[in-house]
């Protein structure tokens, strides 16, 4: 055999190997092939990798070691998260979160630095994760290669390290979750949206609302369902309550650049209004129809209610004039926040965490308060890392 023929054979084998690797990779990542199931409501067969991207074991993806005292401010994970939740189990506050890149689910507690992977089912590029009460199941939302939002419901079983579940409908837009785990979501149908009430697993669907307006933000408060129009600086926004029996809307309030956050009992609404390059935070008392201006400036999306009369807000050290909330939502502006609390009964505001004084730099979002009020969980929008802060 000539040397030229040998070279041709070697090159051909090398090319075939490259082609095989390429199509093998496509098989693992291409929409439909990765899952091996029916994305339109059928069962799932996600790949399972014991080591995953973090290498497995405790402390995977964590910013802390598994030993030692839990600090007041804890950097739970340095990797981006898609969502997190807290619940009580055996008198402990448990924190669960979803890794954004892999869809793996991890668990830790407020009194331990140990982090355990509880699901090694890989779901790439998760954009949002919604845990059911008690953390027993999770809805993961991600974009497939066609840019379509897929919604996967998965059970988190103590006896298994993988997710068992199914796909919910395509076309689901914003989702709001009640304290009991029930869902309200908006499903795009042609040139309109339907409002659907369902269980957390997508069963018992019932259409309760329809609108030609496509951009709504649903907000649950106790048994009251609120709908807010899409916020934009200088444009009038509206907040309504939705009667799920007949689909009717009742106006609660309005404001330019409106972002709203109803209290857990629905009696108050914390909201921010933005116009003329300025943002102001207010509290509206629904029964009295009274309005109070808050002593710190921030967006209502950067707040969380701890009770019916007490809330926490991340407020920037400096709020430069800007087109809010648009520029913040688009990632054109990033804030550096301190953390404040305000009590409506005493009318007292308190600096809870002086991030500027501690030389920390957070753009705080997605805040959660534990059931005992002792732990605040938040995501740093700058890198989507997860943090907790002891409030005691």
Q: What is the pLDDT of residues 207-218, one digit of tens each?
A: 999 999 999 999
- pLDDT, one tens digit per residue, over 184-234 is 999 999 999 999 999 999 999 999 999 999 999 999 998 899 999 999 999
- What is the phi/psi pair of residue 9, to 5°? -65, -45
Reply yes or no on whether the pLDDT at 309 is more than 60: yes
Reply yes or no on whether the pLDDT at 164 is more than 70: yes
- Residues of the chain above pLDDT 90, percent: 73
Classified as helix, coil or strand, 14 is: helix
Band of pLDDT at residue 158, cut at 50, 70 and 90: confident
pLDDT at residue number 166? 94
Reply yes or no on whether the pLDDT at 66 is more than 70: no
Classified as helix, coil or strand, 6 is: helix
The closest alpha carbon to 206, from 182, 178, 239, 180, belongs to 182
Band of pLDDT at residue 53, cut at 50, 70 and 90: very low
Q: Which residue has the higher pLDDT, 115 or 37?
A: 115
Q: What is the mean pLDDT of residues 107-129?
A: 96
- What is the phi/psi pair of residue 139, to 5°? -105, 125
Mean pLDDT of the residues in the chain: 87
pLDDT at residue number 294? 97
**Exposed (0-12), middle (13-18) or buried (19+): which is 19, by Cβ within 10 Å?**
exposed
- pLDDT, one tens digit per residue, over 326-364 is 999 999 999 999 999 999 999 999 999 999 999 999 999
**Exposed (0-12), middle (13-18) or buried (19+): which is 259, by Cβ within 10 Å?**
buried
Could you tell me whether strands 337-343 and 348-353 are parallel, antiparallel, or unpaired per DSSP bridges?
antiparallel
Q: What gap in Å lies between CA 80 and CA 61, rounded to an integer?
A: 10
Half-sphere exposure of 126 (CA within 13 A, CB side): 29
pLDDT at residue number 236? 97
Reply yes or no on whether the pLDDT at 49 is more than 70: no
This prediction has a pTM of 0.84
All domains of the chain, ordered by start, with CATH? 223-361 (2.120.10.30)
What is the DSSP secondary structure assignment for residue 258, as one 8-state letter? -
Q: What is the mean pLDDT of residues 296-315?
A: 97
The closest alpha carbon to 274, from 259, 263, 295, belongs to 259
């Amino acid at each position: 055999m000539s040397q030229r023929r040998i070279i041709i054979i070697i090159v051909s084998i090398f090319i075939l190997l490259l082609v095989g690797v390429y199509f093998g990779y496509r098989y693992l990542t291409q929409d439909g092939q990765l899952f091996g199931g029916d994305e339109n409501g059928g069962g799932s067969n996600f790949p399972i990798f014991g080591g995953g991207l973090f290498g497995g074991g405790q402390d995977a993806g964590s910013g802390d070691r598994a030993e030692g005292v839990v600090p007041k401010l804890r950097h739970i994970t340095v990797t981006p998260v898609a969502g997190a939740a807290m619940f009580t189990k055996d008198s402990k506050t448990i924190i669960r979160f979803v890794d954004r890149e892999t869809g793996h689910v991890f668990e830790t507690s407020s009194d331990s630095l140990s982090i355990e992977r509880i699901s090694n089912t890989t779901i790439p590029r998760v954009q949002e994760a919604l845990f059911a009460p008690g953390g027993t199941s999770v809805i993961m939302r991600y974009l497939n290669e066609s840019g379509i939002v897929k919604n996967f419901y998965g059970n988190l079983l103590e006896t298994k390290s993988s997710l068992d579940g199914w796909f919910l409908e395509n076309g689901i837009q914003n989702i709001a979750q009640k304290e009991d785990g029930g869902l309200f979501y908006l499903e795009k149908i042609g040139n309109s949206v339907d409002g659907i009430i369902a269980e957390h697993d997508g069963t018992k669907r019932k259409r309760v609302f329809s609108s030609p307006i496509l951009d709504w933000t649903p907000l649950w408060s106790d048994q009251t369902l609120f709908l807010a129009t899409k916020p934009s600086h200088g444009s009038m926004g509206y907040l309504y309550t939705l009667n799920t029996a007949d689909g009717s809307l009742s106006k609660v309030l309005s404001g330019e650049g409106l972002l709203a956050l109803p209290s857990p009992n629905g009696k108050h609404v914390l909201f921010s209004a933005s116009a003329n390059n300025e943002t102001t935070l207010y509290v509206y008392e629904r029964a009295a129809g009274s309005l109070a201006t808050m002593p710190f400036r921030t967006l209502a999306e950067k707040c969380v209610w701890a009770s019916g009369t007490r809330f926490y807000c991340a407020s920037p050290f400096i709020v430069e004039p800007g087109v809010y909330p648009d520029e913040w939502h688009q990632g054109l502006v990033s804030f550096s926040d301190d953390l404040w609390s305000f009590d409506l009964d005493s009318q007292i505001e308190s600096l809870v965490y002086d991030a500027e004084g501690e030389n920390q730099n957070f753009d705080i979002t997605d805040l959660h308060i534990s059931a005992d009020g002792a732990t605040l969980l938040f995501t740093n929008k700058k890198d989507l890392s997860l943090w907790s802060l002891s409030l005691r």
